[in-house]
Structure 1
Amino acid sequence: MKRSALVLLTLIASTFCFAQKGKPLFTYPLGVQSYTYRASFPNSVVATLDTIKALGITEMEGPNPKNISPEEFKKLLDERNIKMPSIGLDYNLVVGNPQGAVRLAKVFGSEYVMVAWIPHGKTFTIDDAKKAVTDFNAAGKVLKENGITLCYHNHGYEFGPYENGTLFDYIAENTNPQYVSFEMDMLWAFHGGADPAKLLYKYKSRWKLMHLKDIRKGVANDLTGGTPIKNDVALGTGQINVPEVLKAAKAVGIKHYFIEDESPDHAAQIPVTIKYLKSL
């Protein structure tokens, strides 16, 4: 073989090996939280769903917007091959009428019902946490008996100190793992002072779902469970170490990921988020 040909083959082989080393970190279906499009759905459900499909999104965390029935919304989702593995419902609805939550989840073929907010006063207290534990265990049992998993979605205020840990630790350690699981919201965990990756590893068997979101640089952490919506930024442009969190999420077995961008600039930011996820 001529030297020039040998050099060329060596170069091709080394290039191929280099390309093979870079395995993608994010390999799951792209999902979105329907709340992201809360301002668009009232104008046109069909046009909004077409926009979502055009982005390559194949999963949504619902339920349906207020201006369309669950059955009709499910039909529109099916037409666009968008699945709804999880629905987010109000605490009082799930606790007061768990069978109603089951019925709605069944309409969408959802495996999970998510609760994102525990009612409380100005400050989230141990009494609030204790009540939530009792309520979640009871409602979660009913859901599990009907093939649905209840997930509590952290919101930042639960990371206030309690004994040797936090109020979130109290909830995680006192809810029954058979009946209660969790959805990780990266932004709210971080904003509440927790380390999202470490929290995933700490309760690794409990996490089933994730909200993909990032918070603007320079925003200080607090326990309010709130921040102006303009502080939601495209993934990878804020404060959170996204690759570290995604590695932890993959390690603990999370399979459903939903982009949630509450910003008024979400239409411009979501393509940036998707491009970033695919680049990892």
Structure 2
Amino acid sequence: MTRPLVAIQQIQIGTVTSTEAQARETLGALVAAGFAGIELNSFQTQPTPWVVRALTKAAGMPAGRGGRLDWHAILADFPLRVVAIHEALGTIEADTDAVISRARRFGTMHVVVTGMYRFDYSDLREVESLAQRLNAAGRRLGNAGLRLLYHNHNVEFRKVAPGINAFDVLIEGTDPASVNFEVDCFWAATAGVDPLALMRRLGGRVELCHLTDRGSRRTGSSMTPIDKLDSVELGLGNMDIPALIAQASEAGAAAVVLETHKNWIDGSPVRSAEVSAEVLRRHLVQAR
């Protein structure tokens, strides 16, 4: 059984990496907390149109303005391995060489595609077509020694036929030699799916694992006896974090990637990461 790296998704620290000084301070705090890896996003490591930042913020994940920084130079001064870089599928298809160059420059073998923008996951034919597009992109990246992974949100678990959801189609329609998965446990749970059962089903196709706990935090007086569910730090929600970490280790995942994208302790993404890092370190040691 391998021990995955303790890593963090760049989206969590977008609001505290808008300047080089701020980025260096934040990365130093993460290293001190025990993080050994980071997962980057293309739209946060190069200049990005304002509309992309606005859409990301509207989804509850503020990206910050760090796309103007030289992340390659900054990361060279920290012991943080780049475990993956997120890219749009359209970008991979239109400019494969540029994506390969970015991944190589950051020293990572994983390129990750997330849920498609303005895509109908309830349309069986559309999802089947997506699986074939992923296969084709994965083969092109594979020829350069890179691995293509698909990262789920909750929308992939919409039904496309009786008893079949879109993620079933992506699992069955993609070739493990070309496409595998970065399972986001929080979003699967939000869709009503057991993330542990999902990871067990995928087995070794889980090459990266995203972890965010799911629970509620009181932020003011409660008007009703029902709290709003949201992301919380690891160990403060109701997901079986130790079992998920153990399964990621069993699958041989390269990293367990923290992504608590909002609702942070004290409003601080760094403080939030520090709390979760202690849980990650403790259970990853036990999973060895």
Q: Give the structure-2-normalised TM-score.
A: 0.77
- Residue 142 of structure 2: aligned partner: 144
Q: Kindly indicate whether the alpha-carbon contact (under 8 Å) linking 1:41 and 1:65 is maintained by their aligned counterparts in 2.
A: no
1:57 lines up with 2:35 in the alignment: yes
> In the aligned structure 1, how far is the partner of 2:215 from the partner of 2:187?
12
> In the aligned structure 1, how far is the partner of 2:79 from the partner of 2:36?
7
Q: Give the structure-1-normalised TM-score.
A: 0.79
Larger Rg: 1
> In the aligned structure 1, how far is the partner of 2:120 from the partner of 2:139?
30
> In the aligned structure 2, how far is the partner of 1:239 from the partner of 1:157?
21
Structure 1 residues 193 and 57: alpha-carbon distance in aligned structure 2, compared to 1, 3 A threshold: same
Aligned residues: 245
- Residue 133 of structure 1: aligned partner: 131
Residue correspondence of structure 1 range 86-165 to structure 2 within 5 A: 86-121=84-119, 124-161=122-159, 162-165=161-164
1:38 lines up with 2:38 in the alignment: no
Deviation string 1:2-56 (CA, Å, 9 cap, x unpaired) is xxxxxxxxxxxxxxxxxxxxxxx99533211111111111133222222222222
Q: Kindly indicate whether the alpha-carbon contact (under 8 Å) linking 1:30 and 1:59 is maintained by their aligned counterparts in 2.
A: yes
Q: CA deviation at 1:164?
A: 3.5
- Percent identity of equivalent pairs: 23
> In the aligned structure 2, how far is the partner of 1:79 from the partner of 1:230?
38
Q: Kindly indicate whether the alpha-carbon contact (under 8 Å) linking 1:26 and 1:246 is maintained by their aligned counterparts in 2.
A: no
Structure 2 residues not aligned, in runs of 5+ = 47-65, 218-227, 284-288
Q: Which moved more, 1:202-211 or 1:59-68?
A: 59-68
Compare relative contact order (CA 8 Å, sep 6+) and give the higher one, 1 or 2: 2
Q: Kindly indicate whether the alpha-carbon contact (under 8 Å) linking 1:140 and 1:180 is maintained by their aligned counterparts in 2.
A: yes
Q: CA deviation at 1:258?
A: 1.1
RMSD: 2.4
Structure 1 residues 272 and 49: alpha-carbon distance in aligned structure 2, compared to 1, 3 A threshold: closer
Q: Secondary structure at the match of 1:171?
A: helix
1:278 lines up with 2:254 in the alignment: no
Structure 1 residues 97 and 121: alpha-carbon distance in aligned structure 2, compared to 1, 3 A threshold: same
Q: Kindly indicate whether the alpha-carbon contact (under 8 Å) linking 1:184 and 1:210 is maintained by their aligned counterparts in 2.
A: yes
> In the aligned structure 1, how far is the partner of 2:102 from the partner of 2:184?
23
